[in-house]
Structure 1
Amino acid sequence: MNMKKIRNLTLAAGLCYLAGLAPAVHAQQKPNIIFIYADDLGYGDISCYGMKKIHTPNIDKLAKQGVRFTNGYATSATCTPSRYGILTGRYPWRQQNTGIAPGDASLIIPTDHKTLPGMLQDAGYHTAVIGKWHLGIGAPGTTIDWNADLKPGPLEVGFNYAYIMPATLDRVPCVFVENHRVVNLDQNDPITVSYKHKVGTDPTGKENPEKLRMRTDPNQGHNQTIVDSISRIGWMSGGNSARWKDENIAGIITQKAIDFIGQNKTTPFFIYFASGDMHVPRYPNSQFRGKSGMGLRGDAILQLDWTVGQITHALDSLGLTKNTMIVFSSDNGPVLNDGYLDQAVELVGSHKPAGPLRGGKYSSFEAGARVPLIVKWPAGIPKAAVSNTLIGQIDFYASLAKLTGQPIADGDAPDSYDMLQQLLGKSKVDRPYLITQGGPLSIIEGDYKYITPSKGPKVATDVNIELGNHPSAQLYNIKKDVFEKENLAEKEPARVKAMAEKLSAVKAAAGSR
């Protein structure tokens, strides 16, 4: 859908809904909650965290009206496990098969435990997931039939409504799924997907590079079925009427979020809005292409900022701004070349996507999991603040349970801490400790970070990112040495021993608040 049309629809929706809204808003006490979850956005990629080359005014406005955290973390340095952690309140490494999911993965989130959206359903919320899912669909051990009902999926783990890209942007099938069905699917053109062998006769990037709008890195394998002139990981045939156009993804999912807001304006709602903008393949709408001066990755950051502006404008138009909590964050740190040669490396210039941090996506160093984190809620956060409190995305489960008065059953959200007062800027007490996952696990406690020994490569040469692997222990004072230059392990063996034992104890336990 054209971005200009979406903007006009947003304005029209606001005018239509606003007239009869005021009594319902005043009657509602629980805040609406919107998570805006960016993909591969680095700590230094937005203006309020230090970006100088381009401006992100709509995201910056959230920070100017809320709490901006400088020590906020995803659970992991890659996408699938971080998404698992935020929705379950459970460290993803506690469960098998929570690594980066293939496009035909079965549902990773267990259906026998309450999730964050499920807990909010119990509190009377209407819940929606819109955008990138990448947490699997279907029962374990079964093969997905993309032409039938797709379940279990988001609706079976706490969402009332789903409009998703089922995997991620560089993996087939490149279709939207609404609730249990592929959108716009022609049953006479059924979808077949395989990650083991070629299916159908669609051209592939490997066989037909002349059909591509952007070249792929020959070392990274994004050379299978071509969809929208871009080759992907995996093979797909059929479903031609259902296939997305990459430049329209942001506009479509933004409009779906605005529609859900309008439809649920008189009751509390929760939206988990997962943008795919910075994830490869990057091909933002023509409204943004060429505008950043930093190539398609920079253009995608501008598009993400536009999305934030559209959502906040819709809230303003509907009179919902004051009692809506907006959480903005990212699933992991940045990566430039991640399979497609789109000039992200050549045009980055002096910009540092990770800001002052070392590493990036996939890394155990700080840039892997330390990410932007902003919370805005005018009714609950009357004064803007910057907080250096140690906090994790995994803590939203327990914190929002406290906010909405919901109990947490034994076994649910075992690793989530109630950090509500910190989220509201009323406390600066750190989380007792936090475990993050690059390759090896790390534990952060106070000013220090311990990275467990590991035998992997020191650098992922295909993406040019330091991974943090080392055969012996690493210890950093990340308050004084945020770039993790000086390994203090030999100087402070007692601290290394204590933190290693703490990590082992947490791993052995089921988790506790």
Structure 2
Amino acid sequence: MKTKKRLNQNLIGLGGLLTVPILSFGQISVPQRPNIVIIVADDLGYGDLSCYGSTALQTPGMDRLALEGLRFTQGHCTAATSTPSRYSLLTGMYPWSNPDAKILPGNAALIIGTDQLTLPKVMKRAGYVTGTVGKWHLGLGDSQVDWNDRIYPGAGEVGYDYSFIQAATNDRVPCIFIENGMGVGLEKDDPIYVSYRKNFEGEPTGKDNPELLRMHPSVGHAGSIVNGVPRIGFQTGGRKAQWRDEEMAELFLGKAKDFIRANKNQPFFLYYGLHQPHVPRVPNERFVGKSGMGPRGDVILEADWCVSEFLKEMDRLGLTENTLVILTSDNGPVLDDGYKDDAEERVGNHKPAGPYRGWKTTMYEGGTCVPFLLRWPSVVKPGVSDALVCQMDLLASLSALVGESYSERTDSQNTLPAFLGFSGKGREELVIEGMFNYAFRQNDWTLIPPYGPNRVYELYNVKDDPGQTNNVADKYPVQLRKMMRRFEHLKRTIGKITDF
């Protein structure tokens, strides 16, 4: 009853129980129209935050969300790579239900159907103004994108009223920003052209012109040079529109602040995609050397500063109490991801994946068990939750929160009580996608089918063995067979997994 009293007092402070739509959880009532902000970092590991145990890196901005909200120890994305993970978060679908939901080149067509249900579309139905800022990497336009004209379909057709994005990632062309479907800063007499097949005549590349580089590739990344950094793919033209990596973080932060300032008097939904710590790791000059861990550590500190400054802006605008903020990552961490930036040499005793085994692209927990923080001061009591929750379930859960229903089939489950800390029970099972293979999580158990040279089944209890060092498949044959049968059933009835 104390919880109910505290929540009701907060509701009264938000405008009174008679004027705010209410959603009830037994004895607990919560307002149905909070502002909603989802902050998604890029390749940020579970162990990269000090609130998850890091001592080498201190992240007070992100830690603030943990101190004032819920810190989930079992927060998962569906895939250990970017595009599939982001696709699931926005559509509520397993990525393997869409064959195109793989790591995309920068000139890929939009992989979300214009008639497909998405989280921002649900928010729009509920009367929210919607925006996305930062990393995109879900494709844009059709198979023949003209970057110099309106790019259609794009973020607007996915459900966003406002968008300021990069087409893919920092290491892929086109290296320009796109605002509401139009390239930013492009000039008619200097159009931009993009190719992922061959270079444009006369354009230097990382492969042929290493003398022009300030950052060198370790593998791949030998295409066009932008801002002294070689990228994947080739582009020519658009000189004045090309981004400067050092300015990207503050630019995205400014756009995110602008969005909430412009919409502070109405319910808003913002997807804020941090580009850090994805490669190339080029922090603003004032963060260079601050971590003692090289560029990867420096850009994590930069990302943390961005989160801190964004939260301060919410404070200044009086939005903190009734804004639900989620911070998470698209997948697990990686050190060497294609550039020689000393990430492996300077990591020291820091464990980017925390206690978990695996990294970005892998089926082990370190690939998909990511930071997951949720703060809603007027409703959510600070603490730690061990519930198994997944980004894919935000669609169904937030739809329930804002009072919206939908008839389209999704893989998203309504686990709102777990997200808000009212229940310790989240998902019971989850299919996890690595780079080219799959694992199956069921409560505390993880099954990994016999991929690779070993060709043996792996079974782990991640509660007892978070590092997944002790394969107990032989010890628990009944559990193994039960999970094998269930996984096969899911493959047949949900999606299009063909490789086992």
Q: TM-score, normalised by structure 1?
A: 0.89
Q: Name the counterpart of 1:8.
A: none
List, as ranges, runs of 4+ consecutive aligned residues in structure 1 with deviation greater than 3 Å: 26-29
Q: Tell me the CA shift for residue 409 of structure 1.
A: 1.2
Query: Which residue of structure 1 aligns with residue 387 of structure 2?
Result: 389
Q: Which residue of 1 aligns with 2:43?
A: 40
- Are 1:45 and 1:355, in contact at CA under 8 Å, matched by a contact in 2? yes
Conserved 8 A contact 1:77-1:332: yes
* Residue aligning to 1:196: 197
Change over 3 Å in CA distance of 1:259–1:23 after alignment to 2: farther
Aligned to 1:484: 468
Structure 2: how far apart are the matches of 1:174 and 1:197? Answer: 17
**Residue 500 (str. 1) matches residue 484 (str. 2):** yes
Structure-2 separation of matches of 1:496 and 1:110: 37
Structure 1 position 87 matched with structure 2 position 90:
yes
Question: Is the 1:442–1:449 contact (alpha carbons within 8 Å) kept by the matching residues of 2?
Answer: yes
Q: CA deviation at 1:201?
A: 2.2
The residue identity in structure 2 corresponding to 1:472 is V
Indicate yes or no: 2:306 matched with 1:307. yes
1:395-432 deviation line (CA, Å, top 9, x unaligned): 10111011000002132xx2111111111111001312
Aligned residue in 1 for 2:140: 137
C-alpha contact 2:78 2:433 (8 A) present in aligned 1: yes
- Name the residue aligned to 1:103: 106
Q: Return the alpha-carbon distance in structure 2 between the equivalents of residues 472 and 348 of structure 1.
A: 32
In 2: Cα distance, 1:94 partner to 1:452 partner: 19
Structure 1 equivalent of residue 443 of structure 2 = 446
* Residue 149 of structure 1: how far off its partner (Å): 0.9
Tell me how many residue pairs correspond in the alignment: 469
CA distance in 1, matches of 2:140, 2:52: 35
Partner Cα distance (1:177, 1:477) in 2: 45
Alignment of 1:203-214 (within 5 A): 203-214=204-215
After superposition, the C-alpha distances for 1:191-229 in whole angstroms (9 at most, x for unaligned) are 111001111422111111011111211xx2111100000
Paired with 1:472 and 1:187, the residues of 2 have a C-alpha distance of 59
Counterpart Cα distance in 2 of 1:259 and 1:93 = 36
Report the equivalent of 1:3.
Answer: none
Letter in 1 for 2:49: I
1:424-461 Cα distance to aligned partner (Å, 9 max, x none): 11100131211111132111112210112213x7xxxx
Match in the other structure for 1:293: 292
**What runs of 5+ residues in structure 2 fail to find an aligned partner?**
1-13, 21-30, 496-500
Report the Cα distance in structure 2 between the residues aligned to 1:187 and 1:283, rounded to whole angstroms: 29
Q: Does 1:431 find its partner at 2:427?
A: yes
Match in the other structure for 1:4: none
| Contact 1:440–1:451 (Cα < 8 Å) also in 2 | no
SS of equivalent residue, structure 1 residue 53: coil
Q: Secondary structure at the match of 1:260?
A: helix
SS class of match (1:266): coil
Asked whether 1:70 is paired with 2:73, we answer: yes
Aligned letter for 2:427? R
Q: Which digits, 9 at most, give the CA deviation of each residue in 1:321-367, with x for residues without a partner?
A: 00001100000011011000111111111111111111100111110
Alignment match, 1:378: 377
Distance 2:299 2:201 in 1: 32
Distance 2:270 2:19 in 1: 21
Residue deviations 1:230-249, cap 9 Å, x none? 00000000011110000000
Question: Any conservation in 1 of the 2:117–2:408 contact (CA below 8 Å)?
Answer: no
Aligned to 1:324: 323
Work out the percentage of aligned pairs sharing the same amino acid.
47
Instruction: Kindly provide the amino acid, as one letter, of the partner of residue 87 in structure 2.
Output: Y
Q: Distance in 1 between matches of 2:201 and 2:482?
A: 56
What secondary structure sits across from 1:71 in the alignment?
Answer: strand
State the 1:31 CA deviation.
0.5
Give the aligned partner of residue 186 of structure 1.
Answer: 187
Instruction: Give me the whole-angstrom Cα distance separating, in 2, the residues matched to 1:346 and 1:449.
Output: 31
In the aligned structure 1, how far is the partner of 2:451 from the partner of 2:109?
29
* Cα distance in 2 between the residues matched to 1:507 and 1:191: 43
CA gap 1:203/1:369 in 2 versus in 1, 3 angstroms = same
User: Alpha-carbon deviation of 1:23?
Assistant: 8.3
Question: Relative to 1, partners in 2 of residues 1:128 and 1:27: Cα closer, same or farther, differing over 3 Å?
Answer: farther
8 Å Cα contact 1:67/1:386 also seen in 2? yes
- Counterpart residue identity of residue 443, structure 2: G
Q: Distance in 2 between matches of 1:430 and 1:475?
A: 21
Could you tell me how far apart the structure 2 residues matched to 1:152 and 1:426 are? 39
Offset of residue 472 of structure 1 = 2.0
Summarize the alignment of residues 78-477 of structure 1 with structure 2, pairs less than 5 Å apart.
Answer: 78-139=81-142, 142-217=143-218, 220-381=219-380, 383-411=381-409, 414-438=410-434, 439-455=436-452, 470-477=454-461
SS of match in other structure, 1:307 = helix
CA deviation after TM superposition for structure 1 residue 266, in Å: 0.6
The answer (yes or no) to whether the contact 1:333–1:368 under 8 Å persists in 2 is yes
Distance 2:290 2:353 in 1: 21
Counterpart Cα distance in 1 of 2:184 and 2:156? 16
Query: What residue in structure 1 maps to residue 27 of structure 2?
Result: none
Q: What is residue 9 of structure 2 aligned with on the other side?
A: none
* Map of 2:28 onto structure 1: none
Preserved CA contact (<8 Å) 1:430 1:446: no
- TM-score, normalisation: structure 2: 0.92
Task: Work out whether residues 200 and 236 of structure 1, in 8 Å CA contact, stay in contact via their aligned partners in 2.
Answer: no
Q: Distance in 1 between matches of 2:57 and 2:373?
A: 19
- Which amino acid in structure 2 is aligned with residue 117 of structure 1? P
Which amino acid is the alignment partner of residue 334 of structure 1?
P
Q: For 1:388, what is the secondary structure of its paired residue?
A: strand
- What amino acid is aligned across from residue 397 of structure 1 in structure 2? L
In 2, Cα distance between equivalents of 1:58 and 1:74: 22
Is the contact made by 1:71 and 1:390 (CA closer than 8 Å) also made in structure 2? yes
In 1, Cα distance between the equivalents of 2:267 and 2:214?
43
Secondary structure of the 2:346 match is coil
Q: Secondary structure at the match of 2:431?
A: strand
- Work out the CA distance in 1 between the residues paired with 2:196 and 2:102: 16
Who is 2:25 aligned against?
Answer: none
Matched AA of 2:395: Y
Q: Is the 8 A contact 2:126 2:403 kept in 1?
A: yes
Letter in 1 for 2:227: D
